A and B are shown apart, each in its own frame.
Chain A
Amino acid sequence: MAARLLARRNLGLVVPGALAVLLVLLALAAPLLAPYDPAAGRLADRLLDPGSPGHPLGTDGQGRDLLSRLLWAGRASLTGGLVPVTVATVAGTLLGIAAGLGGRFTEQALLRALDVLYAFPGVLLAIAIASLLTPGLGATVLALSVVLTPAVARVAFTETRRIRTAEYLEAARVSGAGWGALVLRQVAPVVAPVVLVYASSLVGLAVVYAAGLSFLGLGVAPPTAEWGAMLDELRPALLTHPWVAVLPALVILAVSVVFNTLGEALRTRVGDAAAQLPRPVPARAARAPKQVSR
């Protein structure tokens, strides 16, 4: 098992995957790992540079330990990235399947509504929604869920469209399957893998957006630690203590690289797997060969 995981061709997937798990674990274990209370600072120790004794990553403008704050911040920041992707995946899949299986009217109504949300640059839509809500993690999660849902719905719709005239769906309908059974047993298993791989490629983006909203003051409120909020808090120190000020920026960049690499590896892997399938596979043959005119 271990040998297989560490085989060279799997490293592209295993390394970013392990790093992503490590990030989540670090955030979860923040209370055990953080050397100091993230909210309590000593004004005498203000703005120490990284490498100072007792504070390996330095301190912020209120003398709070940056290592502790960065660890704790992972909780809010990763929640702000992972929860919206989960919500958008579920909501988007349901909307996409509904548009794909529904009649012409349902399809057009849903697609046009999603198009309007699509017409906004993502960050701006998130800003517009979050600016209406009380700043906090809830605002971030809600705003980003709305922003990400249309993209997921698109993918789910395309997949559903592809199989909507398939004979096994017809067979299930004829044998009296209700809507619930049809969606859960027949459509979801086909749509899910594609949607999940797509959703995994959204996590990096969502983490970046979530930190961005906090940076703009729309997300987690101080004194709670969050990477984007820390970026904003440390900005005044940029000209005098640049290495303290860029720490959260570096963390967000690294996290984004890890999740994007993982998403990409998953995408190419699934793409490869689909291409390597031996030609006559029952599961594939069951799908509709081409768009059949209705």
Chain B
Amino acid sequence: MTRFLLRRLLLAVPTLFGVTAVVFATVALVPGDPVAAFLGPGAPPEARRELTERLGLDEPLPVRYVDWLGHALNGDLGTSVAGQRPVADLLLPALGQTLTLTAAAFLLVLLGGVALGALGALRPRGPGGRISGALSTLAVSAPQYSVALLLIAVFAVGLRWLPAGGTNDAFGPGGPADLARHLVLPAVAAALVPLGLTARVFRAALGTVLAGELADSLRARGLRPAAVLRHCVHNASPALLTIGGLQLAYLLEGVVFVETLFAWPGVGRLLYDALTARDLPLVQGGVLVVAVAFVGVNILVDAAHAAIDPRVRV
């Protein structure tokens, strides 16, 4: 197991290098001259040369990359142009908010995916199967921003059941209940696409188990259908882990839209604000943080998979 983990971590190193290189390239290849932008068009050549040297812009690209990477590893992601604050200081609290939202959405993905998948697997050709298939196609096709707007229109503006956006500290005046009220709509909007995909995979996995020898022998022993289903769900769960982990990673990409529309103060919202303000250091920082989290989640999924299923380790 340790060997597997070490190898998996080693394999992630080149990927992380590539990811950071792509993010760096987007910093370095920005059209326009940063020196001219800083000093204005009429600056004397000496001042230009001095600033170019101070920013290290006269170094070759690979040197600048290593330099940038060193800073990034130390938590220095540059300074936000619009906010005039270190990018890391802005990103860190936002990351906490994003993880709260992602965790809530992930819970919905698992519960909904299993329920919808099981509905389809039990009677694949019956009405349950057709409903499950149609609903998962609808969920998979539902863009986060469309769902977010529709949910706000119906549940916040129309019915006035839930708040249209924002959030509260769990320890604030409203307590955890108020946080939950703010979480429901954004979590649903973020969860739908991954939920649909999870339902499809779980439906296929559970269907195979239900049609196999395990289910036959359980039935032959006289177990009630509910008990047979319980055992078969257990048997189909490794598939759920793989796809669920992938979906956890993909939840991270939907947050840009969901957080923006629900005014949720996370990394995605920050990224949207940075994009509208053309605040490139903040854009790079946000993309880097989410991409690294994405790679990290994938490693965790592989590790969990290896822990359950020894065949993966070889």
The interface on chain A, measured as residues whose beta carbon lies within 8 A of the other chain's beta carbons, has a size of 43
Give the A-B contact count at a CB cut-off of 8 A: 131
Complex Cα–Cα for A215 and B290 (A): 20
| Residue from the list A116, A212, A217 in contact with B257, Cβ < 8 A | A212
Pairwise interchain contact B137-A119, C-beta atoms closer than 8 A: no
Pairwise interchain contact A112-B157, C-beta atoms closer than 8 A: no
Q: Would you call the interface of chain A mostly helix, strand, loop, or mixed?
A: helix
Q: Which residues of B from 28 to 53 have beta carbons under 8 Å from A?
A: 29-31
Pairwise interchain contact A215-B257, C-beta atoms closer than 8 A: yes
Complex Cα–Cα for A113 and B250 (A): 21
Chain A residue nearest in CB terms to B164: A239
- Give per-residue flags for A209-222: 1 if the beta carbon is below 8 A from chain B beta carbons, else 0: 00110011110000
Q: Would you call the interface of chain B mostly helix, strand, loop, or mixed?
A: helix
- Give per-residue flags for B81-110: 1 if the beta carbon is below 8 A from chain A beta carbons, else 0: 000000000000000000000000000000
Pairwise interchain contact A217-B294, C-beta atoms closer than 8 A: no
Q: Which residues of B from 51 to 98 have beta carbons under 8 Å from A?
A: none
Given A128-B22, A216-B256: A121 and B249 within 8 A (CB)? yes
Say if the beta carbon of B143 comes within 8 Å of chain A: yes
Given A127-B256, A128-B287, A238-B152: A119 and B143 within 8 A (CB)? no
Chain A residue nearest in CB terms to B23: A128
| Residue from the list B29, B154, B287 in contact with A127, Cβ < 8 A | B287
Pairwise interchain contact A256-B30, C-beta atoms closer than 8 A: no
Complex Cα–Cα for A238 and B153 (A): 7
Q: Which segment of B12-20, B203-211, B302-310 sits at the interface?
A: B12-20
Q: Which B residues are CB-close (under 8 A) to A245?
A: 149, 153
Say if the beta carbon of B26 comes within 8 Å of chain A: yes
Say if the beta carbon of A168 comes within 8 Å of chain B: no
- Give per-residue flags for B278-295: 1 if the beta carbon is below 8 A from chain A beta carbons, else 0: 001001100100110011
* Nearest Cβ on chain A to B129's Cβ, whole angstroms: 14
Question: What is the interface of chain A, defined by CB distance below 8 A to chain B?
Answer: 112-113, 115-117, 119-125, 127-129, 131-132, 204, 208, 211-212, 215-218, 228, 231, 235, 238-239, 242-243, 245-246, 249-250, 252-253, 256-257, 260-261, 264
9 cross-chain pairs, A with B, having the tightest CB-CB distances, nearest first? A116-B18, A121-B253, A242-B153, A249-B146, A256-B141, A249-B149, A260-B141, A208-B143, A257-B141
